[in-house]
């Protein structure tokens, strides 16, 4: 519930059922795959994009039996869509007066307000999802403020700020640990140290067969290729 109105999956389902029953219904990309989800399809980003689209939001507002009861479902779709559009945009931030910063703060405040109104865990998004959403917005806005104040001529492209590098790092750490299971703090620390030493040596040496490398931080003083005559 949000401001006394439901945010409900049945509203989305209602759009799909209306489009099936009426050939002239407002066009959306909703199919059975979007409505009757499996554990696998819940992980498909394209389905989420179609559901959280402007077309579905507009359809909810135009269907007579849904437009009154779906107001907050439409808001959920709108703010979720805007969040993704901004964070995946290739249009750079250049100024702190960029209106998208204000929009991000509005999105954050709306989700905080919704979380404060819930009376049970199933009435809102998960605690982890809520935490990640708020953290990503606050972190991104604070990063923009720091960079654009310190470097006024800088540009920040949102689509370049992603978790790919971080996920790759954790994947490497798990590999160095010998398995894909969650590690203990001790084993994680050991794997990180191993990674740091390996990365440092790799960057200095490049190839053991060519050139010369001096490094005082790893116990390696000199590596030189030897030629047998």
Distance (Å, whole) CA 99 – CA 102: 5
At residue 107, does pLDDT exceed 70?
A: yes
Distance (Å, whole) CA 212 – CA 223: 5
What pLDDT, on a 0 to 100 scale, did the predictor assign at position 119? 74
| pLDDT digits 0-9 by tens, 16-42 | 999 988 876 667 899 999 999 888 888
What pLDDT, on a 0 to 100 scale, did the predictor assign at position 225? 43
Q: Identify whether the C-beta of residue 84 lies closer than 8 Å to the C-beta of residue 136.
A: no
Higher pLDDT, 80 or 187: 80
Share of the chain above pLDDT 70, in %: 76
User: Which pTM was predicted?
Assistant: 0.69
CA distance to 22, 33, 60, 71, 124, per residue, from 53 (Å):
20, 16, 11, 15, 20
Cα-based angle 48, 171, 155 (whole degrees, multiple of 5): 65
Q: Which helix (H) or strand (E) holds 191?
A: helix 185-205
Distance (Å, whole) CA 42 – CA 54: 20
| pLDDT digits 0-9 by tens, 5-18 | 888 999 999 999 99
CA distance to 44, 203, 220, per residue, from 211 (Å):
48, 13, 14
Average model confidence (pLDDT) for the chain? 81
Q: Tell me what the mean pLDDT of segment 144-151 comes to.
A: 94
Higher pLDDT, 62 or 181: 62
Q: Categorize the per-residue pLDDT at 205 as very low, low, confident or very high, splitting at 50, 70 and 90.
A: low
Tokens of 75: 């808001």
What pLDDT, on a 0 to 100 scale, did the predictor assign at position 124? 85
| pLDDT digits 0-9 by tens, 113-143 | 988 887 776 778 888 889 989 999 999 999 9
Domain ranges of the chain: 1-87, 90-162, 164-224
What pLDDT, on a 0 to 100 scale, did the predictor assign at position 123? 73
Q: Tell me what the mean pLDDT of segment 104-120 comes to.
A: 90
Which residue in this structure is represented by tokens 């010369």? Answer: 212
At residue 163, does pLDDT exceed 90?
A: no
What pLDDT, on a 0 to 100 scale, did the predictor assign at position 109? 96
Phi, psi of 212 (to 5 degrees): -140, 140
CA distance to 7, 81, 184, 187, per residue, from 176 (Å):
44, 38, 13, 10
How long is the chain?
A: 229
What pLDDT, on a 0 to 100 scale, did the predictor assign at position 43? 78
| Cβ neighbours for 7, distance < 8 A, ≥ 6 positions apart | 1, 72, 73, 75, 76, 114
């Amino acid at each position: 519930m949000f401001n006394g109105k439901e945010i409900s999956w049945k509203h989305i389902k209602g759009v799909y059922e209306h489009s099936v029953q009426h050939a002239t219904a407002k066009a959306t990309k909703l199919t059975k795959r979007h409505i009757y989800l499996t554990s696998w399809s819940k992980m498909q980003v394209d389905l989420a994009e179609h559901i959280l689209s402007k077309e579905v939001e507009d359809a909810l507002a135009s269907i007579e039996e849904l437009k009154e009861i779906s107001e907050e479902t439409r808001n959920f779709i709108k703010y979720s869509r805007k969040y993704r559009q901004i964070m995946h945009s290739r249009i750079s931030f250049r100024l702190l007066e960029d209106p998208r910063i204000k929009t991000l703060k509005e999105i954050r405040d709306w989700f905080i307000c919704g979380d404060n109104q819930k009376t049970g865990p199933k009435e809102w998004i998960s605690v982890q999802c809520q935490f990640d959403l708020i953290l990503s917005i606050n972190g991104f806005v604070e990063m923009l403020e720091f960079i654009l104040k310190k470097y006024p001529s800088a540009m920040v492209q949102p689509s370049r700020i992603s978790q790919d590098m971080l996920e790759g790092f954790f994947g490497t750490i798990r590999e160095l640990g010998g398995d894909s299971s969650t590690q203990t703090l001790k084993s994680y620390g050991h794997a990180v140290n191993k990674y740091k030493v390996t990365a440092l040596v790799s960057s200095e040496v490049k190839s053991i067969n060519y050139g010369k490398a001096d490094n005082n931080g790893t116990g390696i003083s000199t590596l030189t290729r030897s030629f047998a005559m």
